[in-house]
Amino acid sequence: MFYFDYAATTKMSERARETFMEAAESFYGNSESLHDIGTDACAVLEKSRDLISSYLGIPAEGLYFTSGGTEGNLLAIVSLAMGASGRGKHIISSMAEHASVHSALGFLERLGFEVTRLLFTEKGTVDVKKLEAAIRPDTVLVSVQHINQEIGTIQPIEEISLMVRRRGILFHSDCVQSFGKADVARMIPYVDSITLSSHKIHGPKGVGAVYIHPSCVMAPVFPHLSHEKGFRGGTVNVPGIAGFAAAVEEILIESERDWEYRTALKEATGGAVVFIEGERAMQLPSIVGCMITGVQGQLVLLECNKAGFAISTGSACQEHHEGGSKAVEAMGYPKEAADQFFRISFGRHTTKEEIFSLGERLKQIAAVHRVGTAR
């Protein structure tokens, strides 16, 4: 099949796979064990931590390894909110965050926190003025993703930071979709915490990381644990983390190529597809939110799949749940439009020939199934 679902996951690179297998074979010890085998595993763990921290330009002591982006968001948001709960219990986020962020916020609401969830502008970004208006004296945390997982819009992180951090409000950003595709290191000075995932950058699945600035006060979700300085429990996945670090060393951001591919896809569809996107300066080119007017997104996915093209109808973490695209609804589209949403995402191994072939297939689907005319 032709793979156009890079935003969901990526194939492990040869280097990451070889590093993973070597670590699994040679450094299989528990990194907390005090014997030499455990010490060797710990050395690999810390070397990986140093490498990823160096890439991001952050202190290594602030980087905690997790099982992936979902656990990272859950632990970071809850830990930061609980650590700041003595000052207040109000949190601000957006309506189009990843499902794991909504899960963490829902958990905190059951503990007595209040959450304000903001809509997007028609260009797919958080309205900074509305965010400022939502700030209260008891606001302790803002959580806004760096790049939306459905439509690829880049959120105004610097503007939000300047607004909230001078008020002493903590700022967390889910960077799972941006890491390896955009310059995440550039935004580090503007946030208190970020979440990363290995399998989005051709590393192993089941591995991720959270960075929390060492100056932040946090309350671990589960107390009295020893791994990762008590941030999370469970034996650390040293081979997976080594593979993650190897994948980080291979990161190559190809924005110009991705914009060329995005433009080629638009041309190939010949106006049959509605592209849901932001301003160019606020858009990641490799995540493409789409609709064919009058055609359910699920039908487009199935028709593409039959022809050998793997696309999606949104975030894989909510793929089998009803409700359409959160981002599209947050932008003010009606529910029926959200149900027509599908996502195309390309990456390292995508070719221009594949782009043109997909565009032709989408034109065929529109011609057979469309009701009305694409806007």
132: CB partners within 8 A, 6+ apart: 163
Q: Tell me which residue of 10, 73, 74 sits closest to 243, measured CA to CA.
A: 10
Show the beta-strand stretches assigned E in the chain: 2-3, 63-66, 90-94, 114-118, 139-143, 170-174, 193-197, 208-212, 274-276, 287-291, 309-310, 341-345
What angle is formed at CA 250 by the lines to CA 98 and CA 198, rounded to 5 degrees?
30
Contact 9, 316 (CB under 8 A): yes
Kindly name the residue from 42, 290, 304, 317 that is annotated as catalytic.
Answer: 317
- Rounded CA separation 342/369 (Å): 15
Parallel, antiparallel, or unpaired: how do β-strands 193-197 and 208-212 relate?
antiparallel
d(CA 65, CA 104): 18
Q: What is the CA radius of gyration of the chain?
A: 21
Give the C-alpha separation, 28 to 324, whole Å.
Answer: 43
Instruction: Tell me how far apart the alpha carbons of residues 185 and 57 are, in angstroms, rounded to a whole number.
Output: 6
Separation CA 74–CA 134 (nearest Å): 23
Rounded-to-integer distance, Cα 161 and Cα 149, Å: 21
By CB atoms closer than 10 A (0-12, 13-18, 19+), residue 14 is: exposed
Q: Which backbone phi and psi does 25 adopt, to 5 degrees? A: -80, -45
Active site (annotated) includes residue 42: no
Tokens found for residue 231: 């941030």
User: Of 310, 332, 316, which Cα lies nearest the Cα of 197?
Assistant: 316
The set of catalytic residues is 317
